Amino acid sequence: MSDHPKTALHHSPFFDEEIEETYREYVSCCSTAAMAVSIETSRLMSTFCIHSRPKTILDFGSGFSTTCFALLKRKGLLRATVTSVDDSPVWLGKTLAYLDGKGLSTDALVPLADFTYTGRYDFILHDIGNMERRARLLPTMWNMLNEGGWMVVDDAHKLGYKKAVAEFFGSVPHVLYEPSEVQTMDQFNRFSLFIKKETKTL
């Protein structure tokens, strides 16, 4: 991705002790650190949501990200409508149970089979299912993203997926937030890419 356009801005990842503590609990009781979205990506995602103030968010792959968005909303740091989607109804049930247990709520939890792909969003986390599905749905997610919106491509370190991501974004106008690879690198060498939909020329 290094040859693609880059943003000049630089954000320090948002740090909140409650989110950090909740993450530690989440990966010990509901998932694992190797499976859940990383705390590094969660910090930077929180930063972007606070700064860009999206009105609509697509959480495409429920889990800790759903909890993170809910915590930001309860703190008054996020005022977006959040739609969380997952390809596993069982996992959606676990997400709902965890949110209930923390006294949190989300706007919508939708099974992938019922998702219509007709909405428009200011911020999208693309983190659902297997990597083949993610690669296949990249164009669809991009089309659902509003002009000026941000997409988080999680697990961009995986070789096959990394190639598919590079090929797709090599064909569409965009701006890459370059520090995202370093700022989201976790203990498993996973990282995410933060990409802005910017198709209009100045």
Reported as a single tens digit per residue, the pLDDT across 145-199 is 999 999 999 999 999 999 999 999 999 999 999 999 999 999 999 999 999 999 7
User: Could you tell me which residue, 128 or 2, shows the higher pLDDT?
Assistant: 128
Query: Is residue 4 one of the residues assigned to a domain?
Result: no
| Of 38, 77, 76, 80, the residue nearest 55 (C-alpha) | 80
Q: What are the structure tokens assigned to 124, written together?
A: 């999208």
**Structural domains counted in the chain:** 1
Q: For residue range 121-139, list pLDDT tens digits in order.
A: 999 999 998 999 999 999 9
Residue 157 belongs to a domain: yes
Query: Is the pLDDT reported for residue 1 higher than 50?
Result: no
**Res 8 pLDDT > 70:** no
Burial of residue 193 (number of CB atoms within 10 Å: 0-12, 13-18, 19+):
buried
**Has residue 11 been placed in a domain?**
no
Q: What is the mean pLDDT of the chain?
A: 92
Name the residue range of residue 34's domain.
17-196
Neighbouring residues of 98: CB distance < 8 A, sequence distance ≥ 6: 26, 30, 67
What CATH number did the domain enclosing 67 receive?
3.40.50.150
- Residue 4's pLDDT band, with cuts at 50, 70 and 90, is very low
Predicted confidence (pLDDT) at residue 107 exceeds the cutoff of 50: yes
Asked if pLDDT for residue 32 goes beyond 90, the answer is: yes
DSSP annotation of 107 reads S
Q: Give domain status of residue 7, yes or no.
A: no
With 0.75 as the threshold, say if the pTM is over it: yes
Q: Which residue spans within the chain are E strands per DSSP?
A: 56-60, 81-86, 108-111, 121-126, 145-153, 175-177, 193-196
Q: Is 201 a domain residue?
A: no
pLDDT of res. 3: 37
Whether residue 160 is contained in a domain is answered as yes
